[in-house]
A and B are shown apart, each in its own frame.
Chain A
């Protein structure tokens, strides 16, 4: 199932390019909007990059999953002997490799736009890499919950977006501690804990939601 999902994500490469283009353009536009004030750029960068990363995941995942459902690929998954949780974890892994990792690397390489120091950049990269599995799992859960609804994007924002708050809070806390030169280890631990909890929550709830998503 893992190899199937990795290959499946690879086949979406055309759609993924537009996802990456959206993220890069949004980052570029935001940095232009903030102007040349380095202090303002450095202070705003972590929050803006995190919010853009969340929005990018929550825009791209439902689109990909909806296309798969329309083509009957979700039916094939439900008829497969593997556990639903194996499928969802494989999907999270595939999203991590094909969406999250490139987004994190793009944040890393575009960080000079926000005048971030090398320590801050590394810290940002690390927080994103820790947070993305949970974001992917929540994105998949939200997509499954809103697959057969009209205005799914709005519902997704209302249902799933609040769940990302712990990631955002602890991720930004790590960045703030790093910026001020304080010990960021406790915040890192809280970020990892909340990411693990939300990953488990997303996959468990996704297992329940998948059969309902396929009933149409």
Chain B
């Protein structure tokens, strides 16, 4: 059992009201409840990544407000409820894969065996002694996404999670997302591709 197997018992909801970012979008509102997944879709440069960074609290909107659990967000508490995976994968450039495990252990205070279990799920455990920069883009993406299994966070904000993944990787991601929603999680994804059967906002 990994950390992400936990079910979130309280009622969680993200409410984004009238946020704007000059020259990209204005007065954008949406809400997301538990067991819901939202796709932010748009062409290159439409502002998908900026919107996700804004929802993660990494960029301040020029106007508008974010509410979490019905309250205006308190940034540090809110950010403890989310897992953000951006374009940059958050992997140390000079580390071996096993070094990255240690770094996450220190950073997230998660036991190494939980992180290693996630590496097994994503099929990258055999590369423990390889330098991350020598792994393929797809393997690096798998490594970055393995945090989805090792951290118990109700809100996932994923920027183009399908990119660079092969069919097997996409299957693991789809299964992981489905299980997250079953366990009362919430997820926002950005992509320039349409995802079948998913609620979406077009930028």
Residues of chain A having any CB pair with chain B under 8 Å: 3-4, 7-8, 11-15, 67-68, 70-73, 75-76, 78-81, 211, 214-215
Q: State the Cβ distance, A33 to closest chain B Cβ, in Å.
A: 34
Q: Does B93 reach chain A (CB closer than 8 Å)?
A: yes
Given contacts A4-B106, A8-B103, A76-B107, contact A14 B94 (CB under 8 A): yes
Q: State the Cβ distance, A129 to closest chain B Cβ, in Å.
A: 26
B94–A72 touching, CB < 8 Å: no
Q: Does B102 reach chain A (CB closer than 8 Å)?
A: yes
Interface size class of B (residues with CB under 8 A): 20 to 34
Q: State the Cβ distance, B42 to closest chain A Cβ, in Å.
A: 19
Q: Which candidate, B76-84, B114-122, B161-169, B177-185, is the interface stretch facing chain A?
A: B76-84
Q: Which residues of B contact A71 (CB under 8 A)?
A: 88-93
A11–B99 touching, CB < 8 Å: yes
Q: Does B24 reach chain A (CB closer than 8 Å)?
A: no
A11–B95 touching, CB < 8 Å: yes
Can you sample 5 A-B contacts with CB below 8 Å? Answer: A3-B106, A12-B94, A78-B79, A214-B58, A215-B60
Given contacts A12-B94, A67-B93, A215-B59, contact A7 B86 (CB under 8 A): no
> CA A67 – CA B91 in complex, angstroms?
11
> CA A105 – CA B76 in complex, angstroms?
40
Q: Does B56 reach chain A (CB closer than 8 Å)?
A: yes
Residues of chain B having any CB pair with chain A under 8 Å: 56-60, 76, 79-80, 82, 84, 86-95, 99, 102-103, 106-107
Q: Is the interface of A mostly helix, strand, loop or mixed?
A: helix
- Given contact pairs A8-B103, A70-B88, A71-B91, a sample of 18 additional A-B residue pairs in the complex whose CB atoms are under 8 Å apart: A7-B102, A11-B92, A11-B95, A68-B92, A71-B90, A71-B92, A72-B89, A72-B90, A75-B84, A76-B107, A78-B57, A78-B79, A80-B79, A81-B76, A81-B80, A211-B60, A214-B58, A215-B59
> CA A75 – CA B106 in complex, angstroms?
16
Q: State the Cβ distance, B165 to closest chain A Cβ, in Å.
A: 17
> CA A7 – CA B92 in complex, angstroms?
11
B58–A76 touching, CB < 8 Å: no
Q: Which residues of B contact A211 (CB under 8 A)?
A: 60
Q: Which residue of B lies closest to A214 (CB)?
A: B58
Q: Which residue of A lies closest to B56 (CB)?
A: A79
Q: Which residues of B contact A75 (CB under 8 A)?
A: 56, 58, 84, 86, 88, 90
Q: Which residues of B contact A4 (CB under 8 A)?
A: 103, 106-107
Q: State the Cβ distance, A73 to closest chain B Cβ, in Å.
A: 6
Q: State the Cβ distance, A144 to closest chain B Cβ, in Å.
A: 15
Residue among B56, B86, B89, B94 with the highest chain A CB neighbour number at 10 A: B94
